[in-house]
């Protein structure tokens, strides 16, 4: 480069608002370079798609030369001046130069000089050839010489190129580099993006970073997401912006439809044709050979089969250096299988973006804002950020009046728009039959339900959900958020639409029934009506009042010939299921029924895998289990009149999970000598049960036992169970369990293969060696420990979660907290502690009363490993929001604090609980925190409490630490939800929900 002076104009505002006809104007001395350097440069610019003005190529015949050239200069975004040895001889060239420099100052034109076989100082100081030329001009063109001299000085002070110093003087490579830099200086297409492409600029920028334009190698990037989410629009936008930077470009759209209609051969021909490749030979080898040495851009839109990718973009080595392949698809699996470099997850529109897009298609014009604003918000809420839905609904409503808008919104609740459903249904149509059934069950029954419980129900139905759910996630049909199934509202609506089919008002013809009004309609039909099409039913009530209203529904189950799954609240028949012919039934869950028995006598249900009976107050007997050879899960709770469980339970060879609780009169529990696959056995709140010692310890896979109110006779079972690594008791009545210590003392299993935890223990005389050193989760809330000190917990260096609510006396709360902060959680994990009537010394006199507290982060944040939050409150089950963000909200900084207590005015203890949480910065390494400049932390709760926050200085690890993924911290079997959940993660802020 010749000089460091910038070529940017004095005012960037002029540049950004200018409209240009030509990309580049070439100024050169024809007899020096027209058929050599400039000729090659012009060809390279044209090949790159850069619209270039070159006088002998562009000037129309018969036009006056001077005005045409001056106009072309003014209409060009970049002026490239090729200074050659004889450039200064031509008064014509010098006039061009002077006009170019004038346009630079007035129009914001970019000037880029090339010093071809001449030193920049010769041009700047008019030496040698340039000096000789100006000596002649002084005699002939005195009036213009000064303006020419100034133009030469200004132009030669601009950073430019000297081809003899580029690529070791290799002219072809030098020209390629010059063209690349010119291309990068051209005004981006994003500045003139179609105004309808709301939110596109930011999404384009993110995608450009992933494409790494300008870097070497071949890069494949997949754009993945839900149908109608804007994948193709984003691909078109990036294609338009960067296509000029490649030797060849091709956008292959609608591959799913086109390949099915015409075959892959036609698509290959399209690629070759658009790349202007001579089609000699044919097929895959041709694409491979022809593009191997070319820098190409190919967009493959709406791919739904791996064969399509293999045919059109087989591997990275098919394409030349710098090539980019962009693939849009709804199936994430295709991208991972094809080994793309990056998968770009399409982001749906935010609320503000959605309302802007909707208004583009449904403008208010002169209609009153008050009439349409509320309705617009309802439509946007319905669309859920899906661009397709916003566009379709906006276009439909654009010429409708206020009443028609209202009518449309009411209709959408019952009948979704077919254009939207049709687009979304493409993903469903591509599923295998078993995956379709799995998706429909989740859409109708399990959205918002905990993943673990739903998976067991789906597995009982034979849907093999482990692999099936993975496929549905990859197809962008469902997500898992906070360990619960979720999906886009319109995707769920599409599932409901498929189930209702052509009979939306005839629920007896639906495969799944989940609405109370549909159940009522079916129950109101003639008792002889056959319900052959119903496969699954759920009936549940939000309140007891609703249950009372519907509790005497007529029986319908007897007429459902193909029922495989039922969850029912209330009574079905009397006696329940007495005429039940369901050999197809796999899953049975009943709530709040008044029945005394499920069915009379022996009944063969060979496929039934799950029975759950909740709060059946009148139940006096369980079924005969001999007719249930494949039962895997049996849960029984809240059956207060039940005294014994049928002796045939002992024959359930496939039983895996058995739970019995809150059965106050239960006295008899049968021997289960043949139950060899049992993994979990739970008893709670069964004070009359004394026959547990008859359970035979021949269940080799039993890893976990819950015990409750069962007396010391339980101990004989515990002692004789060789595979029991630890004991969990829930509100036990026993005061001492002999043999427990030897079962749980320092388990030899490595911590990454087990999650030791003790919960709700009611045992006294716990020795120092009781707690395993790998213990992670300790819950001893409301245990009658008296004055016994739990001192050995401080030796548990993997401890992350402690709950000691109730009348416990901990040896020293500060000692425990200090121990946990010195342990293995300090660098990479969260910590959660629940105490009673205790305030750690670090927060004494530093708690503020209010609902919001702000902690400012210092510049030397690297000296701290995380931060502590303390909450002293009377709130039961508080939700605390911890927000980390960049900007400081002056109004919130202690803005709602009413009192600042000191050591002498600590919170009153009566009715309060103390919660301490720790968030390590290492636990946020997978979030935007690692690349952010957050400078504040805001802690807020919905009711007035005492809140404090403190940074924790970084300490030496004191030995080797093992970093564990934070998702593995909380024990899945014992905690329904983790105490810390990242609700939102963005560049502007991170929102962490703490539920201690």
pLDDT 10s digits, 153-200: 988 888 788 888 887 888 888 898 888 888 877 755 444 445 557 888
Pinpoint the alpha helices (H) of 689-835: 714-719, 740-744, 813-821
Is residue 902 predicted with pLDDT exceeding 50?
A: no
Element (H, E) at 611: strand 610-614
Lowest mean pLDDT among 226-230, 630-634, 798-802, 979-983: 798-802
Is residue 209 predicted with pLDDT exceeding 70?
A: yes
Is the distance from CB of 947 to CB of 863 less than 8 angstroms?
no
Lowest mean pLDDT among 44-48, 501-505, 525-529: 525-529
> What tens digit of pLDDT does each residue of 258-276 get?
888 888 888 888 887 777 5
pLDDT confidence bin for 961, thresholds 50/70/90: very low
> What tens digit of pLDDT does each residue of 476-511 get?
899 888 788 988 888 999 999 999 888 888 998 999
> What tens digit of pLDDT does each residue of 541-581 get?
654 445 555 555 555 666 788 889 988 887 664 444 555 66
Q: How far apart are CA 141 and CA 130, in angstroms?
A: 15
Provide the pLDDT for residue 974.
39
Lowest mean pLDDT among 129-133, 847-851, 880-884: 847-851
Q: Cis (ω within 30 of 0) for the bond into 563?
A: no
Is the distance from CB of 429 to CB of 404 less than 8 angstroms?
no
> What tens digit of pLDDT does each residue of 98-110 get?
999 988 888 888 8
pLDDT confidence bin for 422, thresholds 50/70/90: confident
Centroid of chain to Cα 613: 36
Residue 246 neighbours by CB distance under 10 Å: 23
β-pairing, 864-873 vs 913-920, is: antiparallel
CA dihedral 674, 677, 682, 683 (to 10 degrees): 0
Most confident of 193-207, 354-368, 483-497, 869-883: 483-497
- Residue located via tokens 């935007």: 928
Is the distance from CB of 704 to CB of 758 less than 8 angstroms?
no
Q: Could you write out the DSSP letters of every residue in 851-910?
A: EEEEEEPPTTGGGEEEEEEEEEES-SS--EEEEEESS--GGGSSTT--B---GGGPPP-T
Choose the catalytic residue: 48, 74, 96, 353: 96
Quote the crossing angle between the two packed helices 255-262 and 264-274, to the nearest 10°: 120
pTM of the predicted model as reported, rounded to 2 decimal places: 0.56
pLDDT confidence bin for 61, thresholds 50/70/90: very low
Phi then psi for residue 484, to 5 deg, are: -130, 150
Q: Give the closest residue to 949 by CA, choosing from 840, 863, 822, 859.
A: 840
Q: How far apart are CA 747 and CA 754, in angstroms?
A: 10
Pinpoint the alpha helices (H) of 694-789: 714-719, 740-744
Residue 149 neighbours by CB distance under 10 Å: 18
Q: Give the closest residue to 935 by CA, choosing from 880, 988, 888, 983.
A: 888
> What tens digit of pLDDT does each residue of 269-298 get?
888 777 754 333 344 445 666 688 788 899
CA dihedral 518, 523, 526, 532 (to 10 degrees): 70
Sequence-ordered list of residues with C-beta below 8 angstroms from that of 689, at least 6 positions apart, any chain: 666, 667, 669, 683, 709, 710
CA dihedral 426, 430, 435, 439 (to 10 degrees): -10
Strand order across the beta sheet in which 22-27 lies: 52-53, 22-27, 76-83, 110-115
Provide the pLDDT for residue 306.
93
Centroid of chain to Cα 368: 39
β-pairing, 536-539 vs 801-803, is: unpaired
Tokens of 377: 């918000």
Average pLDDT over every residue of 208-213: 88
Element (H, E) at 567: strand 565-569
The pLDDT mean for the chain works out to: 75
Pinpoint the alpha helices (H) of 633-719: 714-719
Pinpoint the alpha helices (H) of 536-578: 544-550
Is residue 797 predicted with pLDDT exceeding 90?
A: no
- Rg (C-alpha) for the chain, rounded Å, is 37
> What tens digit of pLDDT does each residue of 676-734 get?
777 777 777 777 764 444 444 444 444 444 444 443 334 333 333 343 333 344 443 33
Is the distance from CB of 320 to CB of 295 less than 8 angstroms?
yes
CA dihedral 275, 278, 281, 282 (to 10 degrees): 20
Quote the crossing angle between the two packed helices 284-291 and 264-274, to the nearest 10°: 20
Tokens of 82: 């090729």
Q: Is 903 a catalytic residue?
A: no
Is residue 751 predicted with pLDDT exceeding 70?
A: no
Centroid of chain to Cα 988: 17
136 phi-psi bin (left φ>0, alpha ψ -120 to 50, beta other): alpha
Is the distance from CB of 801 to CB of 778 less than 8 angstroms?
yes
pLDDT confidence bin for 862, thresholds 50/70/90: confident
Question: What separation, in Å, do the N-terminal and C-terminal C-alpha atoms of the chain show?
Answer: 62
Is residue 62 predicted with pLDDT exceeding 80?
A: no
Q: Please indicate whether residue 923 or residue 429 has the higher confidence score (pLDDT).
A: 429
Average pLDDT over every residue of 968-975: 39
Quote the crossing angle between the two packed helices 128-140 and 142-156, to the nearest 10°: 150
Provide the pLDDT for residue 9.
35
């Amino acid at each position: 480069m010749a000089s460091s002076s910038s070529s940017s104009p004095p005012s960037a505002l002029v540049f950004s608002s200018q409209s240009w006809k030509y990309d580049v104007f070439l100024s050169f001395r024809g007899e020096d370079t027209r058929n050599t350097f400039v000729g090659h440069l012009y060809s390279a610019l044209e090949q790159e798609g850069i619209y270039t003005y070159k006088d002998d190529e562009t000037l129309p015949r018969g036009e006056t030369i001077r005005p045409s050239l001056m106009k072309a200069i003014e209409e060009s975004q970049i002026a490239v001046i090729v200074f050659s040895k004889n450039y200064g001889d031509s008064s014509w060239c010098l006039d061009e130069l002077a006009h170019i420099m004038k346009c630079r100052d007035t129009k914001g034109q970019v000037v880029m000089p090339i010093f071809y076989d001449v030193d920049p100082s010769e041009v700047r100081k008019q030496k040698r050839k340039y000096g000789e030329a100006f000596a002649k001009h002084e005699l002939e063109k005195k009036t213009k010489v000064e303006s020419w001299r100034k133009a030469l000085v200004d132009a030669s002070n601009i950073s430019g190129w000297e081809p003899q110093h580029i690529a070791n003087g290799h002219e072809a490579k030098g020209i390629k580099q010059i063209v690349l830099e010119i291309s990068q200086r051209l005004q981006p297409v994003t500045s003139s993006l179609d105004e309808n492409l709301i939110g596109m600029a930011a999404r384009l920028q993110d995608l450009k970073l992933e494409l790494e334009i300008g870097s070497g190698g071949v890069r494949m990037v997949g754009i993945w997401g839900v149908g109608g989410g804007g994948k193709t629009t984003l691909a078109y936008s990036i294609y338009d912006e960067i296509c000029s930077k490649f030797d060849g470009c091709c956008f292959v759209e609608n591959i799913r439809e086109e390949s099915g209609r015409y075959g892959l051969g036609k698509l290959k021909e399209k690629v070759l044709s658009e790349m202007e490749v001579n089609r000699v030979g044919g097929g895959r080898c041709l694409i491979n050979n022809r593009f191997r040495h070319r820098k190409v851009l190919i967009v493959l839109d709406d791919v739904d089969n791996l064969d399509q990718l293999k045919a059109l973009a087989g591997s990275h080595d098919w394409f030349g250096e710098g090539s980019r392949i962009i693939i849009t698809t709804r199936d994430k699996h295709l991208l991972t299988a094809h080994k793309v470099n990056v998968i770009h997850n399409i982001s749906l529109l935010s609320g503000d973006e959605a309302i802007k897009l909707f208004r583009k298609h449904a403008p208010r014009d002169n209609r009153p804002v008050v009439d349409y604003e509320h309705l617009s918000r309802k439509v946007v809420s319905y669309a859920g950020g899906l661009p397709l839905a916003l566009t379709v609904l906006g276009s439909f409503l654009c010429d409708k009046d206020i009443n028609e808008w209202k009518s449309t919104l009411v209709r959408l609740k019952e009948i979704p728009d077919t254009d939207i459903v049709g687009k979304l249904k493409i993903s469903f149509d591509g599923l295998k039959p078993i995956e379709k059934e799995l998706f429909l069950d989740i859409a109708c029954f399990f959205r918002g339900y905990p993943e673990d419980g739903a998976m067991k129900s789906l597995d009982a139905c034979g849907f093999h959900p482990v692999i099936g759910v993975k496929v549905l996630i990859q197809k962008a049909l469902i997500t898992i958020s906070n360990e619960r199934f979720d999906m886009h509202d319109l995707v769920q609506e599409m599932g409901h639409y498929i189930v209702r089919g052509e009979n939306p008002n005839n629920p007896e013809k639906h495969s799944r029934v989940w609405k109370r009004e549909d159940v009522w309609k079916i129950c109101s039909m003639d008792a002889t009506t056959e319900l052959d099409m119903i496969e699954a039913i759920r009936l549940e009530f939000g309140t007891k009042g609703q249950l009372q209203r519907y509790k005497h529904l007529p029986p319908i189950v007897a007429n459902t010939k193909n029922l495989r799954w039922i969850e029912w609240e209330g009574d079905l028949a009397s006696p329940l299921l007495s005429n039940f012919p369901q050999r197809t039934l796999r899953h049975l869950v009943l709530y709040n029924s008044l029945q005394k028995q499920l069915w009379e006598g022996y009944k063969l249900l060979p496929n039934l895998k799950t029975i759950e009976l909740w709060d059946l107050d009148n139940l006096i007997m369980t079924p005969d289990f001999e007719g249930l050879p494949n039962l895997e899960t049996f849960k029984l709770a809240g059956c207060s009149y039940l005294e014994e469980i049928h002796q045939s339970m002992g024959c359930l060879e496939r039983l895996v999970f058995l739970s019995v609780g809150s059965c106050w009169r239960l006295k008899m529990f049968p021997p289960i000598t043949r139950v060899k696959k049992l993994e979990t056995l739970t008893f709670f709140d069964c004070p009359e049960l004394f026959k547990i010692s008859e359970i035979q310890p021949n269940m080799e896979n039993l890893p976990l036992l819950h015990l409750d109110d069962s007396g010391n006779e339980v101990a004989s079972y515990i002692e004789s169970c060789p595979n029991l690594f630890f004991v969990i008791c829930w509100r036990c009545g026993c005061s001492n369990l002999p043999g427990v210590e030897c079962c749980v003392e320092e388990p030899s299993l490595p911590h990454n293969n087990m999650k030791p935890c003790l919960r709700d223990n009611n045992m006294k005389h716990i020795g120092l060696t009781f707690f395993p050193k790998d213990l992670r989760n300790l819950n001893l809330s409301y245990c009658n420990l008296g004055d016994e000190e739990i001192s050995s917990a401080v030796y548990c260096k993997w401890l992350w979660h402690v709950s000691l609510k109730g009348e416990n006396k901990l040896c020293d709360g500060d000692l425990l907290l200090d121990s946990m902060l010195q342990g293995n959680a300090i660098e990479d994990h969260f910590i959660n502690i629940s105490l009673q009537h205790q305030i750690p010394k670090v927060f004494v006199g530093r708690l503020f009363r209010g609902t919001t507290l702000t902690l400012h982060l210092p510049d030397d944040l690297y000296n701290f490993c995380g931060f502590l939050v303390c909450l002293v409150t009377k709130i039961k089950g508080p939700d605390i929001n911890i927000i980390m963000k960049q900007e400081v909200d002056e109004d919130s900084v202690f803005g709602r604090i009413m009192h600042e207590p000191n050591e002498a005015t600590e919170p009153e203890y009566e009715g309060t609980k103390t919660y301490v949480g720790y968030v390590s910065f290492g636990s946020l390494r997978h979030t935007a925190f690692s690349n952010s400049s957050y400078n504040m932390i805001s802690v807020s709760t919905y009711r007035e409490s005492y809140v404090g926050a403190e940074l924790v200085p970084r300490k030496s690890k004191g030995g080797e630490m093992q970093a564990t993924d934070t998702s593995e911290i909380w024990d899945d079997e014992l905690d329904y939800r983790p105490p810390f959940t990242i609700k939102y993660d963005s560049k502007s802020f991170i929102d962490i929900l703490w539920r201690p």
